[in-house]
Amino acid sequence: MIKELLSISSAEFADAIGVSPETVSRWNSSACGISPENTEKIYDFAFSEGVRLNKIKEQLYKEDCRDKNRVILFHGAKSTVEGPVSVDRSRGANDFGKGFYCGESLEQSAMFVSGFRDSSLYIYEFDKTGLEGAQFFVDRDWMLTIAFFRGRLNEYADHPVIMELIGKVEGKDYIIAPIADNRMFEIIDSFIDGEITDVQCRHCLSATDLGKQYVFKTEKAVRQLYFKRHCYLCDKEKKYYLTSRQEGSRIGNDKVKIARRQFRGQGDYIEDILK
């Protein structure tokens, strides 16, 4: 693919990554595997030349997924996913408790793991057929649900508002919801601590939009998550995603400051909602 996109010969490609033409020929014939060191060289060269191999894979898989009940998803891993996917392997203090988490965007998934040395990406195709799901949006319900599962509202576990939200999640095979990162948790904490209203919180969170995530809550749902590809992240690509995330954080923080001021005093404080 790289040679065709750059219109270079096998000899030119071999020279660019520092191996012999014979080695490239063996790779093409699948006579031998590619070492981790050479994999880094290949992806580094492609990325340096403007060829975004992983983005191309994302686009091709999404274009090929035409069934309305199917969706292409991405999972960023700090190292590798060993063995079959299972909801029981995750820790409990996540957005919606235990589950296997995926995102709709390759870039967003990569941003969360690019700071780790051995991080990589996985592409899956999810078939929703016959499964029961719940969906959340950037609103009060989402904020309170995340706060509860993150252990910030344990004393309100029996409150009717919280019980209703838990009921929305219980028994569901999967959940679709906005992605939350550390910045969002800080904003939600400000709401839970009574520093800002729900309206202020909602607008602040909207300003830091990171896209949607799918949370697989049951083994039944995981069995309909089909592995498609393991994507390698070279060092240059990781740096690119980290820089993009830092820039996005800076812009998001500025939007949050504006939203805090613009919607000051509007909406309800947490003590009024859970009184």
Strand order in the sheet with 225-232: 133-135, 174-178, 212-216, 100-103, 70-77, 120-127, 225-232
Rounded to 10 deg, the angle between the 140-149 and 160-169 helix axes is 90
Query: What is the residue-wise DSSP string for 85-147?
Result: --GGGS-S-SBTBSSEEEES-HHHHHHHHTTSTT-EEEEEEEE-TT--EEE--SSHHHHHHHH
- Give the Cα-Cα-Cα angle 140, 209, 273 (nearest 5 degrees): 10
For residues 34 and 45, the answer to whether their CB atoms sit within 8 Å is no
How many Å is the Cα radius of gyration of the chain? Answer: 22
The values of phi and psi at residue 107, to 5°, are: -65, -45
pTM listed for this prediction: 0.90
- pLDDT by residue (tens digit) across 91-131? 767 889 899 999 999 999 999 999 999 998 999 999 999 99
Average pLDDT, the chain: 91
Give the amino acid at 112. Answer: F
Residue 229 confidence class, pLDDT cut points 50, 70, 90:
very high
Q: How do 174-178 and 133-135 pair as beta strands? A: parallel
- pLDDT by residue (tens digit) across 161-218? 999 999 999 999 999 999 888 888 889 999 999 999 999 999 988 877 778 999 999 9
